[in-house]
């Protein structure tokens, strides 16, 4: 930091001075013909310079942009697959540059790691300097206080002790010397700035740790069914690399009921209003069951493992009787809604146990059915008049091939439609049965259930991340609102000279006001109407408070 | 959640917003008259001082501009009065804007910034509020014409292209976080708009030439002040958004397009603050950086809702 009584550099605000010194240092150590140590020093200096930080910040911003342009695997794997289907060559190239995984890509990691190394390399030396600064006494008064950006002189009987006391009362840190008082205030600015930058480092670690020790999983649960928290129970489970099966919180629940309400009429007809899932939860296998209302924005919390309601849909129930008269399937089938406004949903029923041939069905579920010409459509997402259109197939479902199959897709390569296939088969009402052609059996639409999809997460980094973020905001506010300022008072032969200096960019105008108040307090008389009247050297004639005119801020260059 | 909408209040809200647009335009004309005729001589006066300064030793006052309203020798009195009328009109329009927001909120019985129309209306209100609040203590009347025209354009855009009927919102928006997160985003955006207007004027303004605008330093100072206030608010808004996402979606940060752009905006404003502290980047370069950040902010507001799909798809943009 600048020598305290070196006025020229004290007037300039610190980072700039620091930056210049840095630059000079860099110039001196340009790695021409330097040994390895010199190179390392140069690299470190360059990496931790403010300019590099600035460039890395830009790269950081620029690097995240493709993450919003291209679909991301971590956000929506379905859309990535779609992209591969639509533009295979382009997708291959994009994938080579990790553009579908921007935020876990090596190049993105390189940017933020460099940035954070730069940050650490910048912050820790500054923290040491700051600790020294805090311990140091305010610097001695410069020789000519009237040359400071804010200054004033007046006649009076003020003693040094009185001046020191007045400044202490204003919470300045004060030292007294031979004929002068020196006071300084606003150390919290740098403290805040350091707190902010360190908090960012902590935030990065918390996010990283959360990723390693936490997990995330999705599961779909139909009304009446249950879930217990074990890896095998998930439809999709994404553990951090440090998660073991035993570390899963052993809770379980059953979904008793799910209710969705929608706007009934008007322009926004069909817009969802509220979702409510009624659960019976057991926090551990031995715990007493408790009733929980699960809602959006209100997750279930079991010792830090959180269960979120993130989606819902219909699961019509069917009973399939095969050609031999056996009930080969009896239960719900989750359907996916293609259209949120009507909840027209599609599902697949696979009946591998049916005899003599395996049966498969495509079904279209219409929650509120109305006829529309030769067709039927749904006009509302609520289940006011539920029907289902069934498209039956017989043959080989292809389940034995060993290839994993989606439960939402019917592989029709070895299946034959049963009977005449129509695009709009007559829909079945609840309780109605459709006889299958060729004596293959029958299918009954037995009822309507709903399913919910849940996300279950455990992230031990959340709370540390929140604390770090809060610290960052506090640090930021301190660093942006507090001014670092010094005031000196010199008493000689009945003349009191006061000089002031703010070392904070942008603080000049506000400091001018504070400085005037300090001078008024030191004079001990009520706020003067025209303080320039008794100013011995006049100062600038159009500036009532000496150099401290509101617009004049030479301390900012 | 009540689904009924008080239709007459909703209509009143629409009418208030229309009236507000007209009032902002009227205020803009008054400010423009003040700029064009009320300040001309002031500028001559300032220029004279600058010339003196250029010859003699560089006095600090000469380089730091004339944002302190310099009475100068007698500007046209009617034009100055036009400026005052502009301020009065802006306050009235501000009240209309506020009324429009409140009536819509009461009509639907929820926080009135849950879709893009409401959000843009609220941001225009925040920008004008920021201007008026700063105007109480700072001589920034010169900004009036630019702020009111921005607000009028923003509101006009909202009314013409974004308007949706007042109504209830998606379950994910039933949360007190909308009051915290979205309000912070609105306040910060309003201040960023103020800074953006100053930055654009900064680039238009040529140094050393007479102009109705204050000096570049003066413009830069207002822009900087606005950003210094809004940056922590924006930071808070992003964090509050993460907290809300943690409640609603099961993760606090998931690189959803809206999150990506909020982050980009934040980083570029941080870059602006660093640029100010880096030798060689002050002045014009820093102002350009602040405008890049501002462009990111606007893109997040408009572009992301239109071009990208994501979880933040409540914007409810009319098709
Ligand atoms: C993760 C990246 C970073 C972010 C988001 C960030 C953010 C900020 C912000 C918002 C400020 C404004 C506070 C103020 O103006 O007083 C600031 C100031 C500062 N930052 Fe950073 N920073 C980052 C990295 C760095 C790095 C790598 C360095 C060092 C090379 C650095 C050095 C500084 C310095 C010296 C200041 C004080 C400037 C001043 O007083 O105006 N920052 N930083």
What are the tens digits of pLDDT across the range B276-296?
877 677 788 999 999 999 999
Pair (B293, B232) in one structural domain: yes
Which phi and psi angles does A131 have, rounded to 5°?
A: -60, -40
What is the per-residue pLDDT for B316?
A: 60
Closest Cα of chain B to A65: distance in Å? 7
Q: What confidence tier does B317 reach under pLDDT thresholds 50, 70, 90?
A: low
Residue B319 inside a domain? The answer is no
Closest Cα of chain B to A102: distance in Å? 10
**Of A53, A196, A506, which is best to mutate to test ligand 1, by the most ligand atoms within 8 angstroms of its C-beta?**
A53
Q: Domain segments of chain A: what residues?
A: 35-125, 137-186+483-557, 215-458
Taking each helix axis from N to C end, the angle separating A77-86 and A88-96, rounded to the nearest 10 degrees, works out to 130
Sorted by sequence, the CB contacts under 8 Å of residue A339 that are 6+ apart come out as none
Does the pLDDT at position A10 exceed 80?
Answer: no
Pair (B4, B85) in one structural domain: yes
What is the per-residue pLDDT for B311?
A: 65
**Which residue has tokens 């007190």?**
B176
Residue B67 inside a domain? The answer is no
What is the per-residue pLDDT for B313?
A: 59
Does the pLDDT at position A349 exceed 90?
Answer: yes
Q: What average pLDDT does the segment B205-232 reach?
A: 85
- Percent of chain A with pLDDT strictly greater than 70: 87
Q: What average pLDDT does the structure give for chain B?
A: 82
Pair (B134, B8) in one structural domain: yes
What is the per-residue pLDDT for B39?
A: 59
Pair (B163, B193) in one structural domain: no
A220 within ligand 1 shell (Cβ under 6 A): no
Distance A108 CA to ligand 1 centre (A): 20
Pair (B177, B164) in one structural domain: no
Does the pLDDT at position A130 exceed 70?
Answer: yes
CB contact under 8 A, B61 and A543: yes
pTM for this entry: 0.82
CA A537-A543-A547 angle, 5° bins: 65
Does the pLDDT at position B67 exceed 50?
Answer: no
CA nearest A15: which of A186, A147, A193?
A193
Pair (B189, B117) in one structural domain: no
pLDDT in tens, B231-266: 999 999 999 999 998 888 888 988 888 899 999 999
Residue A308 contacts residue B250 (beta carbons within 8 Å) = yes
CA B61 to chain CA mean position, Å: 29
Residue B59 inside a domain? The answer is no
User: In this predicted model, which residue has the larger pLDDT, A401 or A244?
Assistant: A244
Q: What average pLDDT does the segment B45-62 reach?
A: 34
pLDDT in tens, A165-188: 999 999 999 999 888 999 999 999
Does the pLDDT at position A19 exceed 60?
Answer: no
Judged by a CB distance cut-off of 8 A, whether residue A306 touches chain B is yes
Residue B268 inside a domain? The answer is yes
Taking each helix axis from N to C end, the angle separating A106-135 and A36-47, rounded to the nearest 10 degrees, works out to 90
Q: Measured between alpha carbons, how far is A354 from A392 in angstroms, rounded to an integer?
A: 13
Q: If you measure CA to CA, which chain A residue comes closest to B175?
A: A297
Residue nearest to atom 41 of ligand 1 (CA): B277
Chain A residues in contact with B165 (beta carbon < 8 A): 266-268
Which of A221-225, A274-278, A536-540 is predicted with the least confidence, judged by mean pLDDT?
A: A536-540
What is the per-residue pLDDT for B216?
A: 84
A193 within ligand 1 shell (Cβ under 6 A): yes
Judged by a CB distance cut-off of 8 A, whether residue A412 touches chain B is no
Give A417's strand partners: A393
Q: What average pLDDT does the segment B7-35 reach?
A: 92
Does the pLDDT at position A30 exceed 60?
Answer: no
Pair (B183, B215) in one structural domain: yes
Residue B207 contacts residue B193 (beta carbons within 8 Å) = no
Which of A17-31, A378-392, A431-445, B95-109 is predicted with the least confidence, judged by mean pLDDT?
A: A17-31
Give A378's strand partners: A369
Q: Measured between alpha carbons, how far is B108 from B5 in angstroms, rounded to an integer?
A: 5
Pair (B195, B301) in one structural domain: yes
What is the per-residue pLDDT for B310?
A: 66
CA nearest A360: which of A326, A318, A324, A402?
A318
Residue B47 inside a domain? The answer is no
Chain A residues in contact with B310 (beta carbon < 8 A): 75
Q: Give the one of B165, B244, B267 whose C-beta lies nearest to A267's C-beta.
A: B165
What fold is seen in the domain A137-186+483-557?
TATA-Binding Protein (3.30.310)
Residue nearest to atom 7 of ligand 1 (CA): B270
Does the pLDDT at position B48 exceed 60?
Answer: no
User: In this predicted model, which residue has the larger pLDDT, B169 or B116?
Assistant: B116
Q: Measured between alpha carbons, how far is A182 from A176 in angstroms, rounded to an integer?
A: 6
Does the pLDDT at position B51 exceed 90?
Answer: no
> Tell me, what DSSP letter sits at residue A413?
T
Ligand 1 nearest atom to the CA of residue A13, by list position = 40
| Helix/strand/coil percent split, chain A, to 5 | 35, 30, 35
Interface size between A and B, measured as CB pairs under 8 A: 167
CB contact under 8 A, A102 and B255: yes
What is the per-residue pLDDT for A365?
A: 95
Judged by a CB distance cut-off of 8 A, whether residue A382 touches chain B is no
Residue A438 contacts residue A306 (beta carbons within 8 Å) = no
Q: What average pLDDT does the segment B92-115 reach?
A: 92
- Percent of chain B with pLDDT strictly greater than 70: 82
Q: Measured between alpha carbons, how far is A313 from B163 in angstroms, rounded to an integer?
A: 30
CA nearest A445: which of A523, A358, A522, A383?
A383
CB contact under 8 A, B228 and A506: yes
pLDDT in tens, A213-228: 999 899 999 999 999 9
User: In this predicted model, which residue has the larger pLDDT, A42 or A9?
Assistant: A42
Q: What average pLDDT does the segment B111-137 reach?
A: 92
A80 within ligand 1 shell (Cβ under 6 A): no
Pair (B259, B211) in one structural domain: yes
CB contact under 8 A, B254 and A19: no
Which of A292-306, A357-371, B55-69 is predicted with the least confidence, judged by mean pLDDT?
A: B55-69
Task: Give how many domains chain B has, as a whole number.
Answer: 2
Q: What confidence tier does B64 reach under pLDDT thresholds 50, 70, 90?
A: very low
What is the per-residue pLDDT for B62?
A: 34
Q: What confidence tier does A506 reach under pLDDT thresholds 50, 70, 90?
A: low
Q: What average pLDDT does the segment A75-93 reach?
A: 88
Burial tier of A526 (Cβ tally within 10 Å: 0-12, 13-18, 19+): exposed
What is the per-residue pLDDT for A329?
A: 94
Q: Measured between alpha carbons, how far is B214 from B65 in angstroms, rounded to an integer?
A: 6
Q: Which two tokens stand for residue B319?
A: 């098709």
What is the per-residue pLDDT for B74?
A: 59
> Tell me, what DSSP letter sits at residue A401?
G
Q: What does R_g of chain A's alpha carbons equal in angstroms?
A: 37
What is the per-residue pLDDT for A498?
A: 93
Q: If you measure CA to CA, which chain B residue comes closest to A478?
A: B232
Ligand 1 nearest atom to the CA of residue B270, by list position = 10
Judged by a CB distance cut-off of 8 A, whether residue A539 touches chain B is no
pLDDT in tens, A296-331: 888 999 998 999 998 899 999 999 999 888 999 999
Q: What average pLDDT does the structure give for chain A?
A: 84
CB contact under 8 A, A68 and B279: no
Q: Give ipTM to 2 decimals.
A: 0.84
Q: What average pLDDT does the segment B95-119 reach?
A: 91
Pair (B24, B145) in one structural domain: yes
What is the per-residue pLDDT for A177?
A: 87
Chain B residues in contact with A304 (beta carbon < 8 A): none
Does the pLDDT at position A106 exceed 50?
Answer: yes
Residue B3 belongs to domain spanning: 1-41+76-169
Q: What confidence tier does A31 reach under pLDDT thresholds 50, 70, 90?
A: low
CB contact under 8 A, A299 and B243: no
Q: What average pLDDT does the segment A406-421 reach?
A: 84
Closest Cα of chain A to B289: distance in Å? 10
Q: Which two tokens stand for residue A340?
A: 């949120």
Distance B63 CA to ligand 1 centre (A): 28
């Amino acid at each position: 930091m600048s020598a305290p009584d070196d006025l020229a550099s004290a007037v300039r605000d610190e980072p700039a001075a620091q930056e210049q010194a840095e630059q000079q240092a860099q110039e001196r150590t340009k790695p021409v013909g330097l040994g390895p140590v010199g190179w390392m020093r140069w690299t470190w200096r360059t990496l931790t310079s403010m300019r590099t930080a600035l460039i890395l910040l830009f790269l950081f911003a620029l690097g995240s942009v493709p993450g919003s342009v291209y679909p991301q695997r971590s956000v929506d794997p379905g859309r990535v697959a779609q992209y591969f289907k639509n533009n295979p060559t382009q997708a291959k190239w994009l994938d080579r540059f990790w553009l579908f995984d921007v935020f876990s890509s090596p190049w993105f990691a390189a940017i933020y790691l460099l940035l954070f190394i730069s940050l650490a390399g910048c912050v820790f030396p500054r923290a040491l300097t700051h600790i020294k600064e805090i311990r140091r006494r305010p610097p001695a008064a410069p020789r000519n206080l009237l040359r400071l950006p804010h200054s004033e002189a007046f006649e009076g009987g003020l003693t040094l002790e009185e001046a020191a006391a007045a400044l202490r009362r204003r919470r300045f840190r004060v030292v007294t010397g031979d004929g002068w008082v020196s006071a300084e205030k606003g150390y919290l600015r740098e403290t805040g700035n350091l707190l902010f930058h360190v908090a960012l480092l902590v935030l990065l670690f918390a996010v990283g740790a959360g990723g390693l020790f936490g997990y995330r999983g999705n599961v779909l649960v139909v009304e009446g069914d249950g879930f217990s928290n074990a890896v095998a129970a998930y439809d999709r489970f994404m553990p951090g690399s440090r998660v073991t099966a035993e570390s899963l919180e052993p809770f379980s629940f059953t979904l008793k009921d799910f209710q969705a309400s929608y706007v009934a009429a008007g322009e926004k007809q069909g817009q969802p209003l509220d979702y409510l899932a009624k659960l019976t939860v057991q926090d551990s296998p031995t715990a007493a069951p408790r009733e929980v209302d699960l809602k959006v924005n209100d997750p279930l919390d079991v010792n830090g493992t959180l269960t979120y309601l993130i989606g819902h849909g219909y699961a019509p129930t069917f009973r399939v009787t095969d050609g031999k008269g056996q009930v080969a399937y009896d239960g719900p089938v989750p359907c996916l809604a293609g259209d949120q406004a009507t909840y027209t949903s599609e599902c697949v029923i696979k009946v591998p146990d049916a005899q003599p041939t395996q049966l498969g069905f495509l079904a279209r579920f219409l929650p509120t059915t109305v006829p529309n010409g030769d067709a039927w459509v749904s006009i509302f997402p609520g289940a006011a008049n539920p029907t289902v259109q069934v498209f039956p197939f017989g043959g080989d479902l292809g389940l034995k091939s060993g290839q994993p199959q989606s439960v939402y897709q019917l592989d029709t390569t070895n299946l034959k439609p049963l009977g005449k296939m129509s695009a709009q088969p007559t829909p079945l009402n609840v309780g109605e049965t459709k006889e299958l052609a060729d004596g293959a059996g029958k299918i009954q639409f037995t009822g309507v259930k709903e399913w919910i999809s849940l996300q279950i997460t455990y992230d031990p980094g959340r709370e540390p991340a929140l604390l770090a973020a809060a610290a960052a905001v506090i640090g930021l506010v301190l660093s942006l609102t507090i001014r670092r300022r010094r005031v000196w008072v010199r008493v000689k032969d009945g003349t009191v000279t006061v000089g002031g200096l703010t070392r904070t960019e942008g603080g000049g105008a506000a400091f001018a006001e504070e400085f005037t108040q300090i001078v008024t307090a030191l004079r001990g008389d009520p706020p003067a109407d025209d303080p320039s009247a008794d100013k011995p050297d006049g100062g600038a004639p159009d500036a009532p408070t000496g150099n401290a005119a509101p617009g004049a801020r030479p301390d900012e260059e | 959640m009540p689904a009924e909408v008080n239709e007459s209040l909703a209509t009143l809200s629409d009418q208030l917003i229309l009236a507000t647009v007209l009032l902002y335009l009227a205020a803009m004309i008054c400010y423009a008259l003040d700029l064009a005729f009320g300040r001309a001589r002031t500028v001559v006066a300032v220029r004279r001082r600058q010339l003196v300064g250029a010859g003699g030793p560089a006095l600090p006052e000469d380089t730091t501009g004339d944002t302190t309203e310099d009475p100068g020798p007698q500007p046209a009195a009617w034009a100055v009065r036009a400026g005052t009328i502009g301020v009065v009109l802006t306050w009235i329009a501000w009240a209309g804007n506020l009324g429009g927001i409140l009536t819509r909120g009461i009509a639907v019985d929820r926080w009135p910034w849950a879709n893009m129309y409401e959000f843009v209306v609220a941001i225009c209100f925040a920008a004008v509020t920021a201007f008026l609040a700063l105007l109480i203590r700072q001589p920034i009347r010169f900004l009036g014409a630019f702020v009111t025209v921005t607000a009028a354009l923003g509101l006009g855009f909202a009314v013409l292209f974004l308007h949706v009927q007042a109504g209830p919102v998606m379950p994910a928006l039933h949360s007190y976080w909308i009051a915290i997160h979205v309000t912070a985003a609105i306040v910060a955006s309003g201040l960023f708009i103020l800074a953006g207007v100053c930055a654009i004027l900064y680039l238009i303004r040529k140094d050393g030439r007479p102009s109705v605008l204050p000096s570049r330093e003066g413009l830069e100072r207002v822009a900087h002040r606005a950003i210094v206030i809004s940056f922590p608010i924006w930071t808070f808004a992003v964090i509050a958004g993460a907290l809300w996402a943690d409640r609603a979606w099961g993760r606090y940060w998931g690189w959803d397009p809206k999150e990506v752009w909020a982050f980009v905006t934040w980083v570029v404003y941080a870059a602006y603050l660093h640029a100010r502290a880096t030798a060689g980047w002050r002045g014009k370069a820093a102002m350009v950086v602040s405008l890049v950040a501002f462009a990111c902010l606007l893109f997040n507001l408009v572009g992301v809702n239109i071009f990208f799909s994501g979880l933040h798809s409540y914007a409810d943009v009319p098709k």
